[in-house]
Amino acid sequence: MFGFPASTEFGKRIPKQKFYENIDITPALKRVFVEQIRLIYWRNKLAASTLNLAAGEAVIEVEVFEVRLNTPQLDEAVLRQIDKEIPYHILFILTCEGKAQAWIGYKEAAASGSNAFKVSRYYHTEWMPEDELQFRVDGLSMDAVYESLVRQIAGDALQADAGESLQASVERDEKRRQLEKQIAALESKMRKEKQFNRRMEINAEIKKLRKELLVIS
């Protein structure tokens, strides 16, 4: 399923209540679990033992969770809550009405240790027919497999320079997003500015940021 080897199939249903009962979450987030999610299946376990690969230094396993939705919309906070509760890397496959969309977070061990993780941001594909969502298992270690999956899902957002690590690619993408946000805010500000001199100053700031954006893109 989704292109993963039969040796990785797990096929276990996970009660969605596991992620919000007896856990300190907001009533709003609990409502999202109840209203937006139908079922959660643990479809695959990608590990050194199931893929016959070398163990990773940062990545032990990648769990593949299918999340069946009532409608093709899901609050990202739900994925963060599940990621928070599971001490492994997770590839989410959202499914609804015969279509599928993949989501994966750039998940790192938190500074506090103790199996804690933090997700800096999520990347996702577009919705597509379920049978068209297929993945390659690339790499000789679990670290490499995870990096490949993140890059497959992120697409152009994480196009790597030669020899660039996944962490460096994610940081460069985050910087690019911040610059684009700053430029958009300044452009909006310039359109509202009535003083010519101030408009020129803002335009100079925009040009400076665009040069920075060009360098990292």
Amino acid occupying residue 46:
L
Please answer whether residues 145 and 46 qualify as being in contact, where contact means their C-beta atoms are separated by less than 8 angstroms. Answer: yes
Q: How far apart are CA 7 and CA 45, in angstroms?
A: 9
Is residue 162 pLDDT above 70, yes or no?
A: no
pLDDT at site 116: 63
Name the residue with higher pLDDT: 107 or 124.
124
Average pLDDT over residues 165-182: 86
pLDDT at site 174: 85
pLDDT at site 114: 54
pLDDT digits (tens, 9 = 90+) for 21-30: 877 888 999 9
Q: How far apart are CA 66 and CA 30, in angstroms?
A: 19
pLDDT > 90 in the chain, percent: 63
Is residue 52 pLDDT above 80, yes or no?
A: yes
* Residue tagged 């040069």 (tokens): 211
For residue 69, how many other CB atoms are within 10 A of its CB?
18
For residue 201, how many other CB atoms are within 10 A of its CB?
13
Domain regions of the chain by residue span:
6-159, 171-216
Please answer whether residues 75 and 19 qualify as being in contact, where contact means their C-beta atoms are separated by less than 8 angstroms. Answer: no
Please give the model's pTM, rounded to 2 decimal places.
0.81
Average pLDDT over residues 141-157: 92
pLDDT at site 25: 87
pLDDT digits (tens, 9 = 90+) for 54-78: 999 999 999 999 999 999 999 999 9
Alpha helices in 71-165 (DSSP H): 76-85, 142-154
Q: Is 193 exposed, middle or buried (0-12, 13-18, 19+ CB in 10 A)?
A: middle
Please answer whether residues 75 and 105 qualify as being in contact, where contact means their C-beta atoms are separated by less than 8 angstroms. Answer: no
Q: How far apart are CA 166 and CA 151, in angstroms?
A: 8
**Element housing 12 (H / E):** strand 9-13
Parallel, antiparallel or unpaired: strands 37-47 and 9-13: antiparallel
pLDDT > 70 in the chain, percent: 95
